[in-house]
Amino acid sequence: MVASTPVSSPARTTGITAGFVGAVGNTPLIRLNALSELTGCEILGKAEFMNPGGSVKDRAALGILMEAEEQGLLKPGGTVVEGTAGNTGIGLTHLCNARGYKALIVIPDTQSAEKIGLLRSLGAEVRTVPAVPYRDPNNYVRLSGRIAEETPGAVWANQFDNLANRRAHYNSTGPEIWQQTGGRVDAWVAATGTGGTYAGVALYLKEQNPAVRCVLADPHGSSLYSWATDGSLVSEGSSITEGIGNSRVTANLEGAPVDDAVRIPDQDALETIYGLLWQEGLFLGGSVGINVAAALETARRMGPGHTIVTVLCDSGDRYRSRLYDDAWLASKGLRQPVRAA
């Protein structure tokens, strides 16, 4: 795979960064102590909630924006348009503010009020739309593409099929994990929506060591588990988890190595994120529950003595009114976990 300019700045190691851009990346790996002790494996989470925009999507947003600038597609004062479940839009809006662009974000109205409100507070023009399948021309992703075409001076970020997304992770997240573990990685586990994080890291780690096991985590309601296990695109059930899962194989996911797949029910994901809060002091979002529960299952399948890396995508602060609210969870047929006395 051809590498382009890394999207994280080496200035981070000196304690001084080149603005918002320089602060993206170089996040620590956090040992998840309770689960590591339980399994006899080293279960490590890449702390992407520590990025300046608050999520792993800062990397994709930066990679997409920088490539658009390098290619001359984005001019000063231009507009970046994107369809997003929230975090990529948040990262893009931060970067647009930092680099002199406008952000126009199309987001399904099913996403959390915290994310929609934050986008507006950051200064994005936000258009909420009904959540409809990708095959519908009014799907938020397809609609954002049309808006970009109709807006003078606009660029469509197109995070799902713009390979700048996975290149950002191939050039930064993957190398960071390899360096931080001293090359001792036995498995990489991650859920995927756009495919960028999972694929970029998987491609990099496989190049370093073909024996690294790449495991795709998936919620119910997504077709990617069946695609990874038998090649079909069939979904079962539904999920409250935002921003992950898909009904199609994106350009970013195409060609990525998948050695195994794990499907995680919502209740298991909830138990996992509450456990991370109570046992590790980490307040994290729903996709982290999918990732870490899948890492736990991978540890059980592989047995003790392995190092398993996953990603801690974002903070729970963006989901307080949902994942951490008893009444909302009950309305979805889910139980709020109860802390043992």
Cite the active site residues: 57
3-state secondary structure the chain: CCCCCCCCCHHHHHCCCCHHHHHCCCCCEEECHHHHHHHCCEEEEEEHHHCCCCECHHHHHHHHHHHHHHCCCCCCCCEEEEECCCHHHHHHHHHHHHHCCEEEEEEECCCCHHHHHHHHHHCCEEEEECCCCCCCCCCHHHHHHHHHHHCCCEEECCCCCCCHHHHHHHHHHHHHHHHHCCCCCCEEEEECCCCHHHHHHHHHHHHHCCCCEEEEEEECCCCHHHHHHHCCCCCCCCCCCCCCCCCCCCCCCCCCCCCEEEEECHHHHHHHHHHHHHHHCCCECHHHHHHHHHHHHHHHHHCCCCEEEEEECEEHHHHCCCCCCHHHHHHCCCCCCCCCC
